[in-house]
């Protein structure tokens, strides 16, 4: 399974320099999970930059994957991972969700660089 984090979705939607890196994961939603925190982050950024209609279109594409809610067990694991890796809240929720669902994270967020089961590309690479 694949999990594209918020930075990956935003890069893909903006057709940024790393968009092609995320294409494989984004274009196979049957093999993807999408944490609700990613929907929050992507909707917020796209809405601010391009308006609510574009944000709703972005979320519609994201919803083709399996949506994963933040459960109590994911929240507790996220807190543990946040302490262990000094991760911000959203990143720790994404990491915990990936671990619970045995998924690979696709990202350009440097907070994930070097972690197991992460496919990382530096921003602007």
Furthest-apart CA atoms within the chain: distance in Å: 38
Distance of CA 12 to the CA centre of its chain: 11
Q: DSSP for 13-41? A: HHT-TTHHHHHHHHT-GGGBEEEHHHHHH
All structural domains of the chain, each given as residue ranges with its CATH number in brackets, are: 2-108 (3.40.50.1010)
DSSP, res 65: S
What string of pLDDT tens digits covers the 125 residues of the chain? 999 999 999 999 999 999 999 999 999 999 999 999 999 999 999 999 999 999 999 999 999 999 999 999 999 999 999 999 999 999 999 999 999 999 999 999 999 999 999 999 999 76
Residues 35, 2 contacting (CB under 8 angstroms): no
Q: What is the spatial distance between Cα 55 and Cα 91, in angstroms, rounded to a whole number? A: 21
Residues 44, 9 contacting (CB under 8 angstroms): no
């Amino acid at each position: 399974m694949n999990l594209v984090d918020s930075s990956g979705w935003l890069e893909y939607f903006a057709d940024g320099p790393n968009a092609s890196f995320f294409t494989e994961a984004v274009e196979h939603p049957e093999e993807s999970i999408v944490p609700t925190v990613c929907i929050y982050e992507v909707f917020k950024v796209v809405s601010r930059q391009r308006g609510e209609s574009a944000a709703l279109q972005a979320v519609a594409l994201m919803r083709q994957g399996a949506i994963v809610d933040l459960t109590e067990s994911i929240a507790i694991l996220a807190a543990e991972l946040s302490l262990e890796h000094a991760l911000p809240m959203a990143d720790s929720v994404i990491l915990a969700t990936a671990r619970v669902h045995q998924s690979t994270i696709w990202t350009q967020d440097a907070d994930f660089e070097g972690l197991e089961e992460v496919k990382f590309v530096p921003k602007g690479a």
